[in-house]
């Protein structure tokens, strides 16, 4: 059961803890951007996606189609992770990577506009894993999977 966050917790500033963690990780080069790492992986994920779609198109066996769909679902998810990092600017500090390549990945492969994702994901970062009726993490309760409203028992 997800507990609704109280107002005091929502007002807590967690940025100091985040800054401390960032400084602890900085010596390990955790924040260096590696665009070729992402581009190689994105190309591979897209190749597997196209191959699975081709196999699904020529397969009449239902079981094999489900196997190919399952494999494709994993690689669509991986493409989504690359889109996530592109949208955050984690791949490269370049508008072209963030906006244009990110938009291509989001629209063409994932069927979402990058603007929709940006708005929703910004709220997710502001209220990460906080359940609240007024302003909480929108990823906690996303229809159609969790369409009911969280309420306190009365």
Distance CA 100, CA 40 (A): 18
**pLDDT digits over 42-75, tens only?**
999 999 999 999 999 999 999 999 999 999 999 9
DSSP states along 85-101:
HHHHT-S-S-HIIIIII
Which pLDDT band, with edges at 50, 70 and 90, does 100 fall under? confident
Strand partners, 131: 4
pTM of the complete model = 0.70
Q: Which residues contact 93 (CB under 8 A, 6 or more apart)?
A: 33
């Amino acid at each position: 059961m997800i507990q609704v966050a109280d107002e005091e917790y929502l007002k807590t500033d967690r940025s100091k803890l985040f800054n401390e963690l960032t400084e602890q990780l900085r010596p390990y080069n955790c924040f260096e951007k590696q665009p070729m790492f992402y581009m190689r992986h994105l190309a591979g994920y897209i190749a597997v996606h196209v191959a699975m779609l081709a196999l699904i198109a020529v397969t009449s066996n239902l079981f094999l189609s489900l196997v190919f769909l399952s494999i494709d679902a994993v690689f669509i998810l991986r493409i989504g992770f690359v889109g996530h990092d592109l949208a955050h600017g984690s791949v490269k500090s370049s508008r072209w990577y963030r906006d244009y390549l990110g938009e291509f990945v989001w629209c063409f492969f994932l069927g979402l506009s990058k603007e929709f994702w940006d708005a929703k994901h910004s709220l997710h970062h502001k209220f990460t894993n906080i359940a609240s009726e007024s302003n909480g993490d929108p990823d906690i309760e996303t229809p159609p999977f969790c369409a009911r409203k969280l309420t306190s028992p009365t």
